[in-house]
Structure 1
Amino acid sequence: MVGKKLGYPVIAILFFVSVYFSYAFFSGGKAFGIKSSIVSNYSAPKGNGTASQETTTVDNEPKTEVCPLNGEMLSKTQKTKWEKRRPLGVMIENHKEARPQSGLSSADIIYEAVAEGGITRFLSIFYCKDAAYIGPVRSARIYFVKLLQEYGSNPLYAHVGGANTPGPANALGEIEDIEWSLYNDMNQFSVPFPYYWRDYERLPGRVTEHTVYSSTTKLWQYASSKRNLTNVDDKGVSWDKNFVSWKFKDDGKVNEIGNVGKISFGFWNSFASDYAVEWLYDKTTNSYKRNNGGSPHLDKNTGKPLSAKNIVVLFAKESPANDGYEGGHILYKLTGQGEGILFQNGQATEISWSKKDEETRMKFYDNKDQEISFVRGQIFFEILPEGNKVNY
């Protein structure tokens, strides 16, 4: 591992130097007294089209290859790409000013949970498909770090800084403790332009904190060229040596389609108007289209609503970190056992979940203790506090 080869004193020096210069750049130059108008000229590198443009060349190929993350059937061209890389988790914010986000529709798996103050955030897992634009990218939270740990050896983690108040919610401290720092951790503070950039025109009128973007191609490229991380690490160990895939199945037959047409819930009641979620079932595509804050939740890359084949509500114990942070860091207990609801094929199924520790894959079971199978396609996890109500 890079951290062990360089030694921790050297890592610390390199980390803080890179953080200083990167922060100066991405904070609008304030660390050097530079006006933000200069920094705003560093817009998206040329050649970044939309996700739909990027994947057009493979859309007509036979879909014969199974994505190991969500079971989606994709082309051999796509497989030749994903076989050379490792899963990439990206923190994408969901502040109402950050919508419409870019790239969420291309993620294989998405987790949504409150980051702070009732505002949710997405851990978006990319592996089998690409997105030329992803963002706005925001900061790390410790429960997302712990969720990402189950995606094999050293999954890439893209974010802009993170919670670092001493205490149980210290995400950056956790990244150091598990020896991801300056290796598979892709903190923007240590990864330079053009792998991350600010785009003030993509969502005009937004404040600076909602303007950081990247692309899956550039992040995988950086991991390969600068961190020696492809599908194998610097010791030749494949990321999926101990990875366990879930079970998958094809779309339900006509007689297996249910009539649960609408799913609705909130995270924190005081913010229900902006962050309330609805998933509307579409029988023609056997998928669920998402509304957020009362409006269709669009992907800026495609102009279409987010849709998923599987919606999984995970109920988890939520508690305050009590670490003194003014914004109120929170914690979710996502190891052990818990309850949930699985929505697929127009049906709702009460399930249980089990996760031994951070690196063990979370598993899901029906009321007969049989492991459930996901319908092939995007899986969207909604992490709700225990006791929250889900209407369907």
Structure 2
Amino acid sequence: MLAAALLLAAAGCQGGDGDGSSRPESPFTGEPAGRAPVLAVKVDNAAAARPPTGLDRADIVYAEQVEGGLSRLMAVYSAHLPPTAGPVRSARESDLELLRQFGRPALAYSGVQGRLQPAVDRAPLYPVTPGTAPRAYERSQDRAAPHNLYVRPAEALRAAPRASDAADIGFRFGAAPAGGRARTEQTVRYPAARFTFTWSGDGARWLVSMDGGPARTADGRRLAAATVVVQYVTVRPSRYHDRWGSVSPFTETVGSGRALVLRDGRAYDARWSRPGGGSGTAYRTPDGDRLPFARGPVWVVFAAR
């Protein structure tokens, strides 16, 4: 009975290093992890919202362009839940397409533009907002609104008890492929924001900087990733805008294009492909082989083609 339970726990998770091990691993990081539901959190990334809380515990962090050329983050949690995460801000149309590859995850966010609400209602996700799960949220007295709303991830998942467990979204993990180019730093620029990733051999991590300064959490921890993916996508105007009339960009994450994968102090040219909303995203070498990531947290930065 115990053996059967262990096999069931490992189902859907990528196993070991090709050595036949059934040790369960996270499909998001390649690190040891049991089955657990997925919670995505929209994280404010304006200067007034920094430093963030709990972002260092995310399995995956997505960075996207929003109104005014600024950036916003989506933190995806499963293996590890911080006590609190945030500051939490509003969702965008792009998030609905991106999240479909996670099955039916929980999404913590502070609200949406009114015309977008019907699309959120139709999307395959469990909305967790201050209105639907007030016990999951708190306001900090140390910051001014709207940069002071935080979510308690464990409480948020209690409000979405049927959220999908972490499953394969296309990532593969393993030894570094042949080739690549030595790279110690990579910068991605938006019209009014930028991300820089600097390789640290001591920690075997890419250290994150935002807008020219080191990115740290509220408790002083430096944000870092084992793998960084710069995914070149189409960024176009959406049908929606904010209260000041600025049009919200739409980031197309279904389709294909080029990518740059950073791991182990090297940069690898890649192609990404996601044939449909319900599909994961595959990253391949120019020869067509799946490009393995380094085990650990993954940052995916969507950059305009």
TM-score, normalising length from structure 1?
0.67
* Alignment pair present for 1:304 and 2:209: no
In structure 2, which of residues 134, 140, 148 is the aligned counterpart of residue 199 of structure 1? 140
Q: CA deviation at 1:286?
A: 1.5
- Say if 1:185 and 1:292 are closer, same or farther in 2 by CA, change over 3 A: same
- Once residues 323 and 357 of structure 1 are traced to their aligned partners in structure 2, the CA distance between those partners, rounded to angstroms, is 23
Find the counterpart in structure 2 of residue 39 from structure 1: none
Q: Secondary structure at the match of 1:350?
A: strand
1:5-16 residue pairs with structure 2 within 5 A?
Answer: none
Output one character per residue of 1:69-89: Cα deviation in whole Å (capped at 9) or x when no partner. 210235xxxx3xxx3x41111
Change beyond 3 A, Cα 1:178–1:347: same
Are 1:347 and 2:266 counterparts?
A: yes
Deviations 1:191-247 (A, max 9, x none): 21x21111122xxxx3210010012211122223xxxx266xxxxxxx46x745521
Distance 2:303 2:88 in 1: 22
Write out per-residue CA displacement over residues 90-131 of structure 1, whole angstroms, 9 at most, x where no aligned residue.
Answer: 100100000000111100011101121112111111000111
1:108 to 1:247, Cα distance in 2 relative to 1, 3 A: same
Partner of residue 128, structure 2 = 186
Bigger fraction of residues in strand: 2
Partner of 2:118: 173
**C-alpha separation in 2, matches of 1:68 and 1:127:** 10
Matched, 1:265 2:188: yes
- Residues 257 and 346 of structure 1 are in contact (CA less than 8 Å); yes or no, is this contact kept in structure 2? no
Q: 2:59 matched to which residue of 1? A: 108
Given that residues 256 and 345 in structure 1 are in contact (C-alpha distance below 8 angstroms), is that contact kept between their aligned partners in structure 2?
no
Are the equivalent residues in 1 in contact too, given 2:133–2:156 (CA < 8 A)? no
Give the alignment's TM-score, normalised by structure 2. Answer: 0.85
The CA distance in 2 between the partners of 1:220 and 1:324, in whole Å, is 30
In structure 1, the partner of 2:7 is none
**Residue 156 (structure 2) pairs with residue 156 (structure 1):** no
Residue 282 of structure 1 deviates from its aligned partner by 0.5
Q: What is the DSSP-based 3-state SS (H/G/I as helix, E as strand, rest coil) of the residue aligned with 1:312?
A: strand
Change (3 A) 1:123 1:295: same
Matched-pair contact (CA < 8 Å) for 2:27–2:168: no
- Judge conservation of contact 1:150–1:358 (CA < 8 Å) in 2: yes
1:321 and 2:238 equivalent?
yes
- Structure number with the higher helix fraction is 1
Q: How does 1:82-121 map to 2 (within 5 A)?
A: 83=35, 85-121=36-72
Describe the shift of the 1:347–1:336 C-alpha distance in structure 2 as closer, same or farther (beyond 3 A).
Answer: same
Higher Cα radius of gyration: 1
- Aligned equivalent of 1:24: none
Pair 1:247 & 2:198 matched: no
Distance 2:159 2:254 in 1: 32
Is the partner of 2:159 in helix, strand or coil? helix
State how far apart, in whole Å, the 1-side matches of 2:83 and 2:27 are. Answer: 22
Change (3 A) 1:324 1:69: closer
Q: What is the percent sequence identity of the aligned residues?
A: 20
Q: Are 2:96 and 1:145 aligned?
A: yes
* Residues matched between the structures, number: 281
List runs of 5+ in structure 2 lacking aligned partners. 1-22
Partner residue of 1:283?
A: 201
| Offset of residue 327 of structure 1 | 2.2
User: 1:73·1:376 contact (CA, 8 Å) conserved in 2?
Assistant: no
Change (3 A) 1:322 1:195: closer
Quick one: structure 1 residues 259 and 97, their matched pair in 2 at CA, closer, same or farther if it must change by over 3 Å? same
Q: Does 1:362 align with 2:263?
A: no
Aligned twin of 2:28: 69
| Deviation of 1:164 (Å) | 3.1
Give the distance between the partners of 1:132 and 1:257, measured in 2 at CA: 38
Measure the CA separation in 1 of the matches of 2:77 and 2:273: 23
